[in-house]
Amino acid sequence: MAVYTDVAADELADFLKNYEIGELLSYKGIAEGVENSNFLLHTTSGSFILTLYEKRVAVDDLPYFLSLMAHLAERGVHCPQPAKNRQGAVYSELAGRPTAIINFLEGMWPRRPTAMQCAGVGEALARMHLAGSDFPLFRKNPLSVDGWRPLFERAANRADNVRAGLSDFIAAELTHLEACWPSDLPVGVIHADLFPDNVFFLGDKLSGLIDFPFACNDMLAYDVAICLNAWCFEPDHSFNVTKARALLSAYGRERKMSKAEEDALPLLARGSALRFLLTRLVDFLNVPKGALVRPKDPLEYVRKLRFHQSVSSIRDYGVLA
């Protein structure tokens, strides 16, 4: 939850004069997103989200993911569309921060996803991958295999404070993944963070994909692997094969994975689990005093990683390969 920068009403009203989104009627700081300041605006022409970017997302990356949302929305993907200001730009500056406005999507994210919702995510992810195939910008994934060892180095000497043996466990996995990580699978635009809180539904019908700041170019199947971790484990950490089958089957109906992608999926899922384990571990070990946000549990991803280590093929995810 987060509003780091307050904005005065007259300052905001002035800012909006440079957009064609109507007159400001109200704005509320909203408690979603942990890295930026977000406001829900009501104007005479609708509802919008105003985001002031506070950190991590470099200004250099804003054109990538704001243009991507526009690109995807034009191709029928249900995602927010950035508003352009009178100079045609999708972001400018407010209160000293890079600031963007996107249209507000109705819908709720599922706290307890159903198998039908997992199918919805699989379908939407595949459509996003197809719609992104002609997106002209490129952004390397900073949190893929090359980025993991630097993260590990920031946490290695304190990892055993979180759980005895954790440092050795990660070191062995990292060495294995660095040696085996595939380089010949189909690549394209991936969301890279498609957790339930980034997917809206109205009932069981998917109404929108949001939050693209981690979007980048990487292996499409890696995005599928992230979703397996994000959607198919139960609160008790058990893997729900029914949900995985629903997700993977729905994905496959829109975009058929190659044999090589299917074979690589358990390895990609291990990599995805390690990626979230590492970022959570670094966050956990570096919580600032008086932090507004409780860090997420890194050990959840140790359990997920162990599960994927035990998987021998995509059949263990419920799919008849």
DSSP designation for 291: -
Q: Which is nearer to a copy of itself, 46 or 165 (CB)?
A: 46
Q: Which is nearer to a copy of itself, 18 or 26 (CB)?
A: 26
| Binder among 5, 19, 22, 30 for a copy of itself (CB under 8 A) | 30
> What gap in Å lies between CA 184 and CA 255, rounded to an integer?
18
Residues 199-218: x/- map of binding to a copy of itself (CB under 8 A)? -xxx----------------
Let me know: does 137 contact 68? Beta carbons within 8 Å.
Answer: yes
| Binder among 21, 24, 68, 265 for a copy of itself (CB under 8 A) | 24
**Residues between 92 and 111 that touch a copy of itself (CB under 8 A):** 104-111
C-alpha atoms less than 13 angstroms from C-alpha of 47 in its C-beta half-sphere: 7
180-214: buried (b, 16+ CB within 10 Å) or exposed (e) per residue? ebbeebeebbbbbbbbbebbbbeeeebbbbbbbbb
**Minimum CB separation from a copy of itself for residue 23, in Å?**
9
**Minimum CB separation from a copy of itself for residue 14, in Å?**
13
Is residue 6 near a copy of itself by the rule CB under 8 A? yes
Is residue 29 near a copy of itself by the rule CB under 8 A? yes
> What gap in Å lies between CA 144 and CA 225, rounded to an integer?
13
Q: Which is nearer to a copy of itself, 137 or 291 (CB)?
A: 291
Phi and psi dihedrals of 294, rounded to 5?
-75, 130
Q: In which element (H, E) is residue 284 found?
A: helix 259-285
Please choose, out of 25-33, 76-84, 257-265, 274-282, the segment that lies near a copy of itself by the rule CB under 8 A.
Answer: 25-33
| Binder among 5, 19, 35, 42 for a copy of itself (CB under 8 A) | 42
**Residues between 109 and 138 that touch a copy of itself (CB under 8 A):** 109-112
Name the pairing type of β-strands 97-103 and 216-219: unpaired
- Nearest CA to 259 out of 193, 319, 192, 173 is that of 319
Binding site for a copy of itself (CB under 8 A): 1-3, 6, 8-10, 12-13, 24-32, 40, 42, 47, 104-112, 200-202, 290-292
